[in-house]
Amino acid sequence: MDLLPKTRREFSSSSYWETFFKRRGNKAFEWYGEYSTFCGLLAKYIKLTDEILIPGCGNSEMGSQMFDIGYKNITSIDISSNVINQMTQKNIKSRPDLKFLEMDLFNTSFNDNEFNVILDKGTLDAVYSEDTEENRLKVDNMFKEIVRLLRLGGRYICISLAQQFIAEKIIKYFSNEGWLTRVCLAQKDEEDDSSSDKNEDDKKLFNMPIFMFVLTKFKKLPNSKPIFESSFFESKIERHDSVSDLLSAITDLQNYALVKQNLRQGKTLEDQLCVTLYNSSLSSPRYTIYVVDGRGNRKFAIFIVPQGRETEWMFSTYEGRKQLHKSCNYERLLIVLLNRFHEYPSLDLVKKELSSKVLQLAPPNVDKQSPFLTLGESVSVRSKQYEGRSELSGGFVVEDVQIDNKLFRRLIFYNRPEVVQSEVLLKKVVKRSKKKHQKPVESYEVDHAHMTCSYYPSVIAGLLFVQDFLNKLDEKFDVLILDVDNKDHTLPFSSPPTAFIEDQLIHSYAQIVSQDGVFILNLATRCQENRDMVITRLKKHFQRVYYTCVDEQINEIVYCLPTKLKLDTNNEDFIKFIKNNLEEFKKRLQTIDNQYKKPLEELKLINIKSA
């Protein structure tokens, strides 16, 4: 069919519509779907007694169908005389009270406040088909006319594809007028279009989600805060802080539809793609799905990451996901993360919830029973222990997660949910009751013997630089450890923030560390130049600087000594010294607390180098 406008410009020309309806004849053409698709939602916003104007009615049957179910005050207008004649002829006998008038919406002959509802299906989209200066002026006129025609409390209901510029215009215009803005999802993009008999053009256009803007006329009050709402899931209504927030909620849905369309058409992704799926709780996505394409022996699989493991390198980083894709050996792998703030009772339930959604992201012609992969048998458990806000780092949560039968307690900052900020292992302790017949009480305690990061033992090893440190008392510190992460990701250092390694500050560290003490720094940067610059500064203030690199991480533990070590000959001697003293060191620490025993057994010193 050659009746859909070929270029967008044609949408807004009145001669186009004349030809369109002439060629189409009496057959109704419903933009964005029939009345039956929208009637449920429309019934919420339109009363049977309302005075309704349908601008740009075309030959849609929406007006006559509404009339038949009881809406008696409907006036339809269109700029095309052809279509108005057609519609009048069609309805004059069976629905004589249904009015059809040839009229330009920009300049109607109706009185002020004549209608309670203006119901627009596709007309704004047709008028504002391209974002040109000329069209913007036209739309301003159209909106001005709508403001004039509607009564207070009345509604402009506009069914639209909500292209970005259209959505922005309509939301900004009416919120500036003091009206309440709500955007509803009028029709989801089609779940599976294989059964549809639409042609390819239709499929592309109508596979996008269709929105219904509901703009309620309020009196413009000075200083009143505009209200922006969306209703995308069932009848749930969400408030938005700003126009841009509401716009991006719309764009997210549109992008998802586009992505699905591309993926279903068999396009291979050049890069990884991230899709989020919400349920009706809305505040945070229930699932985050990474789509990773590449070579593979089999077509398609879904990998479910158990809760708490999403922070692991394999799932939280681009490179890790690439690696996972390679080892799973599928052309397309979906990596699914289960997000905090949601409950996932079982793996089976997750699979059930996901099954239709993941198929939308599958390549064409895949088996509906595509394999679900995971680690272990379950989705694991995550439980929130505490939630708070820090002035510097924003919101955070302390949560317990079970991984491989071990229970960990973690601190996570919401602005970097993929990073575990701190972690301890919890161990079960069973305390016998003093009373005879009472059951023993089980509880959890922090297992101090567990060291989460591979660099912690190296930090502790720095204590060895301090000769006889347990017996010393001094105003100065024998050990100064600086292990501060950087919240500003634009800076080259992940640790510490640059302010901590200014020359002046390093000077102060040197001042407060005792003569045979040590300053231990966790230095992490991917930039060699910056790293060297810090080492140079440290060397300026300390007599000796050593460092050790930590396996697979960018962290370097740097040891800075105010004086030369007596044994300060070369690297080998130093390691020998550490090793020889380690036993003695362990013994001494054990006298303070038995719990230090284990970590020091794990202690491995790797590549200590002199800087």
Ligand X SMILES: C[S@@+](CC[C@H](N)C(=O)[O-])C[C@H]1O[C@@H](n2cnc3c(N)ncnc32)[C@H](O)[C@@H]1O
What does the binding site for ligand X look like in residue numbers (CB under 6 A)? 14, 17, 29-31, 55-58, 60, 77-80, 83, 104-106, 121-123, 126-127
Instruction: Give the E-state strand segments of 79-135 in sequence order.
Output: 99-102, 115-121
**609-610 vs 52-55, strand pairing mode:** unpaired
Whole-number Å distance between alpha carbons of 608 and 582: 15
Nearer of residues 86 and 116 to ligand X, judged by Cβ? 86
Q: Which is nearer to ligand X, 135 or 175 (CB)?
A: 135
C-beta closer to ligand X: residue 83 or 501: 83
In angstroms, the Cα distances linking 234 to 225, 230, 350 are 26, 11, 20
For residue 536, give the H/E element and its range: helix 528-541
Name the residue number minimizing CB distance to ligand X.
56
Minimum Å distance from CB 244 to ligand X? Answer: 28
CA-based radius of gyration for the chain: 34
Q: C-beta of 169: minimal distance to ligand X in Å?
A: 16
Closer residue to ligand X in complex, CB, 75/80: 80
**Shortest Cβ distance from residue 370 to ligand X (Å)?**
38
Nearest to 171 by CA among 233, 226, 239: 226
Task: Work out how close the CB of 225 gets to ligand X at its nearest, in angstroms, rounded to a whole number.
Answer: 33
**Cβ 146 to ligand X, closest distance in Å?**
12
Question: Closer to ligand X at the Cβ: 121 or 409?
Answer: 121
User: How far apart are the C-alpha atoms of 344 and 210, rounded to whole Å?
Assistant: 31
Do the beta carbons of residue 123 and residue 56 sit within 8 Å?
A: yes
Instruction: Give the contacts of 111 (CB within 8 A, at least 6 positions apart).
Output: none
CB of 106 vs ligand X, minimal distance in Å: 5
Contact 259, 292 (CB under 8 A): no
3-state helix, strand, coil in the chain (%, to 5): 35, 30, 40
Total Cβ atoms within 10 A of residue 518: 25
Q: What is the DSSP string of 218-273?
A: ----TTPPP-EEEEEETTEEEEESSHHHHHHHHHHHHHHHHHHHHHHTTPPPSS-E
Question: Helices H, strands E: what count in the chain?
Answer: 18, 25
* First-to-final CA distance of the chain: 75
Largest CA distance in the chain: 111
**Shortest distance in whole angstroms from residue 156 CB to ligand X:** 14
Q: Which is nearer to ligand X, 127 or 538 (CB)?
A: 127
User: Of the two residues 60 and 458, which places its CB atom closer to ligand X in the complex?
Assistant: 60
**Minimum distance from residue 80 beta carbon to ligand X (Å):** 4
Q: Which is nearer to ligand X, 80 or 555 (CB)?
A: 80
- Is the N-terminal amide bond of 363 cis, ω within 30° of 0? no
As measured in angstroms, the least distance from the Cβ of 413 to ligand X is: 49
**Which residue, chain included where needed, has tokens 């009145």?**
14
Nearer CB in complex with ligand X: 137/419: 137
Least distance in Å: CB of 88 to ligand X? Answer: 14
- Return the number of the residue (50 or 120) whose C-beta is nearest ligand X: 120
